[in-house]
Amino acid sequence: MWRILLLSFTWLICLGGMVVLMSFIEIKKAEVVCKDVKIYIPGSQYFIDKKEVENILQLSSFTLIGRKIDNINLHTLENRLKANPFVEYAKVYADMDGVIMIEISQRQPIMRVMNQFDQDFYIDKNGLKIPMSDNFTARVLAVNGFIEEPFGNKVDTLRTVLAKDLFKTVSFIRQDSLWDAQIAQIYVNASHEIELIPRVGNQRILLGSADSLELKFHNLLAFYKQALPQVGWDAYKVINIKYANQIIGIKNSKADSLRMKIAADSLKMRVDTSKIKKDTSLIKQ
C-alpha cells in the first residue's frame, strides 16, 4: 500500500515539474525575438531562389527581425510557400535562439511538354504538371506533337492515357544511362504513337505505346549491336520497335526495307542479347 502511494506521489511530482517546465518554456518562447531568418533550398534546380522566397513571404514590406516570435504566424508563412507551384515541400519554424528557419524542396521536372494547343509545361518526377518558369529553364527531355493533354497553368495530375505513357517512357529512359544519353527528343505522331529521336543517327524510333518498355528497349539494343554496325547508323529512316516480338527496320531507300524478327530463338542464333552490356560508349557524341 505504502509502495503504491509513494509511486503515485513520485509521478505527481514528475508531472508537476513537467508542467512547470513547459510553462517556463512557453513564457520564454513568448519573449523570444526574431534575430535572423535563414533560408535553405537544396538541390540543383533553381525555380525558387532566396529572393523569390522573400517576395512570396513579403519580407520586403515588413521586417520579421525584431518582432516577437509569438506574434509571427509561421503557419501562414508556410502556407504561402506551399501555394507556389514550384515548391514541393516547405517547412517554417523558429528555434529557441530566435532564428526562423525556412526549408524548401523544389519540384523536379523530368520532361517538357508542348501540346497541340501551343501550351508549354513541365511534368515532374511525381507525374504532376507544373507551369514554366521565368527564372529558370530545366534541361529535360522535350516532348511535342499531337498531344491533347490540357494544361490549366497550375499544378495538376495527368488526364490522358497518352500523357501517362509519355511520363512512363521518360521515367524509364532517365533510369538507364545508355538511353538517357542516346534519346534527345520525343515526338507524338498523328496516330498518337510515341516516336523517339536519337542523338546518333537520323532515324526515328517508333515506340508506339509504353507497354513492355523493358523488352522493347532490350530489342532495340540488340538491333544496335547486330544490324547497325553492318550497314551504318544512318542506313534506316525508321526503326519500328512497337511490336514486342520483332523489330522492323525501314531503310532510307523506299524500295529497300529489312524485316528483322527478334523472337528469342532466332536472336540466340546470332547474338545472345541477355549478355549485351549497357555501355554508353555506343553513343558517340
What are the residue ranges spanned by the domains of the chain? 32-106, 109-282
The CATH number of the structural domain formed by 32-106 is 3.10.20.310
Query: What is the model's pLDDT at position 259?
Result: 47
Radius of gyration of the chain (CA): 29
Cα distance between residue 235 and residue 202, in whole Å: 9
Q: What is the three-class DSSP state of 278?
A: coil
Sheet holding 183-188, edge to edge: 156-157, 128-130, 120-124, 109-114, 141-145, 183-188, 194-198, 204-208, 236-240, 246-251, 257-261
Distance of CA 52 to the CA centre of its chain: 21
Query: What is the model's pLDDT at position 187?
Result: 97
pTM, 2 dp: 0.78
pLDDT along the chain (285 residues), means of 10: 60 58 50 88 82 81 80 91 94 91 94 96 97 91 96 95 98 95 96 95 92 94 86 85 87 55 40 45 47
Number of Cβ within a 10 Å radius of residue 118: 6
